[in-house]
Amino acid sequence: MKSEKPLFAADAAPLTVAVLVMAETNLFSLAAAVDPMRAANRRAGRELFLWRYVSAEGGPVPLTAGFTIPTEALTDRTEADLLMLLAGFRLMEQATPALLARLRRLAPRLRGMAGIDGGSWFLALAGLLDGQAATVHWEDLESFATRFPAIETRADRYVISGRYITTGGAAPCLDMMLDLIGARWGMELALRVAGAFVYAPYQTGAQPQQSVPAARIARADPALGAAIALMEAGLEDPAPIADIAGRIGLSQRRLEMLFADRLGTSPGRFFLDLRLDEARRLVTDTRLPLQEVALRTGFSGQVTFARAFRARFGAAASALRRGAG
């Protein structure tokens, strides 16, 4: 077993990292994991990080950006302090029994394992996160918590739990890497790395994840952001617009004016679009029955759901699912 000294503690020694890249990982996640290591090395003037790319079988791995990255095969003899598992799509297909077994065998020999974006699912499926706290992308928090009751699922941007690290996506991965650099080699270096990306201030792991609409709009109009956050939290059981307005201290008319002025739409239309966007994600990214998709996005009847889905996306949910497959 590797040294028990925590990864997030002062340590002058270089850190060796195996970057396990799954097919259809997004480039932003890869850059958020690797570029802070490169920048830290450059600004420190020495190799603080040593990393290499690995995959389940070795060879070129396709990314969502349309190109491949060369890798070597992950084996039981792969040496590293930290294994960072990056994944985006086709998670269940790629989480093979052989790969999960290999992760379990490697775990005792590593100082840490990190699941980036979809990577958290692999660590959970391998049973490595049982009894730990973890996070995933905000879209998957509910399904992750349901699937893995032995894991304390948090909505945090990233979570450090014992030797395991999980992030809710690419930007939280960058925050986590800056935290790691600061913990090991000092905040001054972490801030210089953040400055290299014109990324300041970076955020702590315990801050909750927010979807893009609420996070962006809240900065411009806190009341509007609060209304959208309530909508995002209530996709399965959508509240009437009047109730949402009342919960943030506005009249329904004032909320309608805010949406019209800021977004050029009504709150009801915006809420419906949020629900349909989530329905589309569940249709294309999961195997949930369409009736379950309808219920999870606040539609009490299949006919109503089918009509709204076709009107929004120009195709039936079943046809979209066949096309995604």
Domain ranges of the chain: 15-196, 212-324
Judge whether residue 200 has pLDDT over 70: no
209-265 per-position pLDDT tens digit = 555 445 556 566 788 888 988 998 899 999 999 999 999 999 999 999 988 887 788
The CATH number that domain 212-324 falls under is 1.10.10.60
> What is the predicted pLDDT for the residue at 324?
58
296-324 per-position pLDDT tens digit = 999 988 899 999 999 888 889 998 887 75
CATH fold match for the domains 15-196 and 212-324: no
pLDDT band at 204 (very low <50, low <70, confident <90, very high): low
Of the ranges 16-20, 144-148, 229-233, 284-288, the best mean pLDDT one:
16-20
> What is the predicted pLDDT for the residue at 158?
92
Pairing of β 68-69 and β 61-62: antiparallel
Residue with tokens 């497959």: 325
80-99 per-position pLDDT tens digit = 999 999 999 899 999 999 99
122-137 per-position pLDDT tens digit = 999 999 999 999 999 8
**Mean pLDDT over the full length of the chain:** 89
> What is the predicted pLDDT for the residue at 220?
63
Burial class of residue 223 (count of CB atoms within 10 Å of its CB; 0-12, 13-18, 19+): middle
> What is the predicted pLDDT for the residue at 38?
95
The CATH number that domain 15-196 falls under is 3.40.50.880
> What is the predicted pLDDT for the residue at 45?
87
